[in-house]
Amino acid sequence: MVLFLCYSLTQFIEQFLGIWILHKVYAEPRFRSKRMMILGGGLFLGVALLFVWNAWESYISNLVVLFGNILWAFFYSVYFRCSFYTAYIWENFYSVMVSLLKMPILILMGLLQHKIFYDVNRGEKCFAEVFWCLLIEVLIIVLIKKKSNITKLLRMLLSRYKRLLFVIFLIEWCMLTYSMYLGERGFVFIDFALHLIFIICSVLLALYLMLNILYQEIKSENIMLDAIQNNLQNQNDKLQVFYNQNNRQLHDVKHIMIYLRNCLESGKTEEALTQVCDFTDDLIAMERKVWTGFSFLDFVLNSKKLEMDENKIKFELEVDLYQIPVKDAELGVVLGNLFDNAIEAAKKCELSKRKVFLRICNRNDMFLLCLYNTSIQVPLMVDDRFVTTKKDKYAHGLGVESVKRIVDKYNGNISFQYDDEHFEVNILI
């Protein structure tokens, strides 16, 4: 009875870990209702118990690895925002790796007991198999918990290298099936050695894959840093323009006052009135500028408002701020990229439908930012990333990714809602 409970528990943990790792990458649920969450939990438990029952029949099953994970992938893609293809590839890759790691204990047992693979795989279970499964699971948990970058690497792996991951899975599955076939005629020590060599090669391949991902990430970060630097330089240039405009306005006011005094002293009231009207129009235009109480935010908003006015885009703003949790430079990157995308999309709409709306406020010590714009098409997404429609895709396709990085830095949340008529981004920090 103790063996039964221990073995069942290790098999349940094995199934749970595969889903847990996938959940760390794709955690956004499709349903929010409590009833659906309870139903999902019940389905998860039922599928997991089905796999546990099968594990009593076979310590390793290459057919379950290939076909059984269809059930897991379907279940996860229904309840979470993850494609069936992505979930299926991950579950297969995870299952075949665990199965390969299980093979050494079966080969050793076959060598020591002089049994063929069928007998040790489907025969009575022992505590050695339980201990081996538990050791594998502990190593997986330690790896995920201790290495904070693993989740990030897995996210990139599943978003950009799905095909390569699938090829690796097929190679490993073929190796697993071939090892099981050889074991039907009995084991020799060379089988154990070759299997260990293959496991080492698989690990080295995985390390190479992750190092390649890190290299690409560093390369992408350097490009993003250049883009951020250019963005900041543009902001500084616009700030300088505003300062120069203010200085010119102060200089003009002095001369206008002198001119009005001369007109009044000379009795030229009509000329003075004309000058006052022109000056009043300028003051009204100045009043239409945005003032939030945060100087850098004011300059960013006013520069973008000027650009929207030039493109005849209606701009609406709601501000209720008492603190901003990010640095000015980071705020400039976030607003700069989001506004650039919003203005680019709104410019393509009819004049009467060009609109950008920004809500930025504090609620219960949280920072909320919502930017809405009209559009005429659904944005293109590839591997969970927005793809620009501009010709220079590599240089211009990193704006949203830069925003995501800053939000992640402050443990915030960013979400998108869109269709063929609007695009909305919400940030909570």
pLDDT tens digit string along 266-277? 777 777 777 667
Q: Is the residue at 273 inside a domain? A: no
- Other CB atoms within a 10 A radius of the CB of residue 427 amount to 22
Q: Is the residue at 170 inside a domain? A: yes
% of the chain with per-residue pLDDT over 90: 9
More reliable by pLDDT, 405 or 323: 323
Average confidence (pLDDT) over 337-355:
91
The HSE-up count of residue 385 (CA atoms within 13 Å, CB side) is: 21
Residue where a domain stops, chosen among 187, 206, 239? 187
Q: Mean of the per-residue pLDDT values for the chain?
A: 79
Tell how strand 355-363 and strand 314-320 pair up. parallel
Number of domains in the chain: 2
Residue 289 scores a pLDDT above 70: no
Burial of 286 (0-12, 13-18, 19+ CB in 10 A): exposed
The pairs formed by 413-418 with CB atoms below 8 angstroms and a separation of 24 or more are: 418/375, 418/378, 418/379
- Under the banding of pLDDT at 50, 70 and 90, the label for residue 182 is confident
At 20, is the secondary structure helix, strand, or coil?
Answer: helix
What pLDDT is recorded for position 244?
65
Residue 392 scores a pLDDT above 60: no
Q: Is the residue at 282 inside a domain? A: no
- Under the banding of pLDDT at 50, 70 and 90, the label for residue 148 is low
- Under the banding of pLDDT at 50, 70 and 90, the label for residue 241 is low
Q: Is the residue at 59 inside a domain? A: yes
Which of 18, 115, 151, 152 shows the shortest CA–CA distance to 75?
18
**Can you give the residue range of the structural domain that contains 136?**
2-187
Residues 164, 300, single domain; the answer is no
More reliable by pLDDT, 236 or 118: 118
- Other CB atoms within a 10 A radius of the CB of residue 381 amount to 11
What pLDDT is recorded for position 112?
80
| Alpha-helical runs (H) found in 80-188 | 84-113, 117-122, 127-146, 149-160, 162-183
Which of 38, 44, 6 shows the shortest CA–CA distance to 23?
44
Residue owning tokens 């990085």: 405
pTM above 0.85, yes or no: no
Amino acid at 184: E
Q: Is the residue at 257 inside a domain? A: no
More reliable by pLDDT, 43 or 208: 43
What pLDDT is recorded for position 139?
85
- Under the banding of pLDDT at 50, 70 and 90, the label for residue 387 is low
Q: Is the residue at 152 inside a domain? A: yes
Residue where a domain stops, chosen among 160, 187, 214? 187
What pLDDT is recorded for position 356?
94
Average confidence (pLDDT) over 310-321:
90
Residues 300, 176, single domain; the answer is no
- Under the banding of pLDDT at 50, 70 and 90, the label for residue 423 is very high
Average confidence (pLDDT) over 18-22:
87
What pLDDT is recorded for position 396?
41
- Other CB atoms within a 10 A radius of the CB of residue 11 amount to 22
What pLDDT is recorded for position 395?
39
What pLDDT is recorded for position 153?
72
In DSSP notation, 188-226 reads -HHHHHHHHHHHHHHHHHHHHHHHHHHHHHHHHHHHHHH
Q: Is the residue at 316 inside a domain? A: yes
CATH number, domain of 359, equals 3.30.565.10
Lowest mean pLDDT among 43-57, 149-163, 243-257, 335-349: 243-257
Average confidence (pLDDT) over 283-303:
71
Which of 114-123, 199-208, 225-234, 394-403 is predicted most confidently?
114-123
Average confidence (pLDDT) over 380-388:
64
Residue where a domain stops, chosen among 187, 215, 238? 187
Element (DSSP H or E) covering residue 424 = strand 422-428
Give the chain's largest Cα–Cα span. 121
Structure tokens at 85: 């293809």
Q: Is the residue at 205 inside a domain? A: no
Amino acid at 223: I
Residues 52, 171, single domain; the answer is yes
Residue 85 scores a pLDDT above 80: yes
- Other CB atoms within a 10 A radius of the CB of residue 116 amount to 14
